[in-house]
A and B are shown apart, each in its own frame.
Chain A
């Protein structure tokens, strides 16, 4: 079968990324609870609240960044992968690129939910009243991230609405390309008007233990989350082959 080597490669990539990711997540969790300090003396983070600018003490709350930031990086990677898959599909018409778009969108949907959830929980503490959802204030970074998450869902809904496989593949590729510019918008959203979301984490990262843990989390957790793309790719590839064999 012509695509067997590709699937075999995908399985190995999944296993390798998954194993590395598991190690990375465990090391990150260990460091974030037993290595980093509780009270961040130099690492207060300047947050512009909707009312006024003020530095806030982070205490234990900053530990959520070790999940939040890598999840955001992975969502960015998923957005880039959908655009890359779209371009490559239109150029080569190889089904593997369509699989990449779908896998990246599915993972982007799951990981984007983690970004929104962890971000909202922290915002409730940072500038909300502590009640669930009180930190959501419709500022540009939060809203654009939510829109990106909805766009991943829209791509998956689009695929379910088109029966003809060739049209479905083309539509997926085109919408994948249109998703591409959304993450740069999310990234630049902190520069639009006043924003509650921190513009920089440099204050926080000036504590060496936190900087080290953050670097390890940025690699380990991102690898773990990207292994989900590889897992979904392999899963979808097997599903496609089964459908082809059933139809034959």
Chain B
């Protein structure tokens, strides 16, 4: 079909990505919806974990238990955020408007993963800041832990964004996302807790390599599946 002389040029994928990301950040800046719900949830989790562990002796076992519990809190905070984002998308059919963008729907998926990742990292920062005094947390002895956090977050969010677009239009979607996501991210949880444990003082850091590899494989596999399937899932 001949191009109309006055038709606006199709923006590049990078420009479209930045525009969509800008929209996500702007919406969050105005509503404070995701960070407030995820952050509050994470802080409440820290308090509950502290209450549950208050009578335990303050030793290495408690420290490792607290680290594992923080990963549990992260997963559930991510689910809270993904649910809020999915509900907002379904309201008034916003997702279908976004899919009208003249680009592959995979770009929309990528934007959502990146934006929720940024919000989740902010939430985790708050959670860790609260856990350092409340749970006597010492997390940053090895800077490699930062890579573990980012990789594990991607491993949770890559299938999470895909599944949230399913559950957003299902009955009981919020509970359903938890039911669907938890089995799928078990390898990510295994990798995150294993790598975090291996990078603690007194442990063998070489043991973290296998867990980092597991996280890398999960990230690549889930991201590829998400990019391939998001458009097909939301067509029509």
* A90 sits at the interface (CB 8 A): yes
* Residues in B neighbouring A192, C-beta threshold 8 A: 190, 194, 210
A179 to B180, CA, bound (A): 10
Task: For chain B, give the interface size range.
Answer: 20 to 34
Asked if residues A174 and B229 are in contact (CB atoms below 8 Å), the reply is yes
Residues A158 and B180 in contact in the complex (CB < 8 Å), given A167-B169, A181-B221 = yes
Asked if residues B180 and A175 are in contact (CB atoms below 8 Å), the reply is yes
* B91 sits at the interface (CB 8 A): no
State the Cβ distance, A172 to closest chain B Cβ, in Å.
10
* B56 sits at the interface (CB 8 A): no
**Residues 93-128 of chain A, each 1 if its beta carbon lies under 8 Å from chain B, else 0:** 000000000000000000000000000000000000
Partner of A161, one of B170, B225, B233: B170
Partner of A182, one of B167, B183, B210, B225: B183
Asked if residues B221 and A170 are in contact (CB atoms below 8 Å), the reply is no
* A15 sits at the interface (CB 8 A): no
State the Cβ distance, B184 to closest chain A Cβ, in Å.
5
* A81 sits at the interface (CB 8 A): no
Add 14 more A-B contacts to A90-B229, A185-B186 (CB < 8 A): A143-B186, A144-B186, A154-B179, A158-B176, A161-B167, A161-B170, A161-B176, A170-B233, A171-B166, A175-B163, A175-B180, A177-B229, A181-B221, A192-B194
15 contacts between A and B (CB under 8 A): A147-B186, A150-B182, A154-B179, A157-B176, A157-B179, A158-B166, A158-B170, A162-B169, A163-B171, A175-B163, A175-B180, A178-B184, A178-B225, A185-B187, A192-B190
Chain B residues within CB distance 8 Å of chain A? 159, 162-163, 166-167, 169-173, 176, 179-180, 182-184, 186-187, 190, 194, 210, 221, 225, 229, 232-233, 235-236
Chain A residues within CB distance 8 Å of chain B? 90, 140, 143-144, 147-148, 150-151, 154, 157-158, 161-164, 166-167, 170-171, 174-175, 177-179, 181-182, 185, 192-193
**9 tightest A-B CB contacts, nearest first:** A151-B183, A161-B170, A171-B166, A161-B171, A147-B186, A162-B170, A147-B183, A154-B179, A178-B184
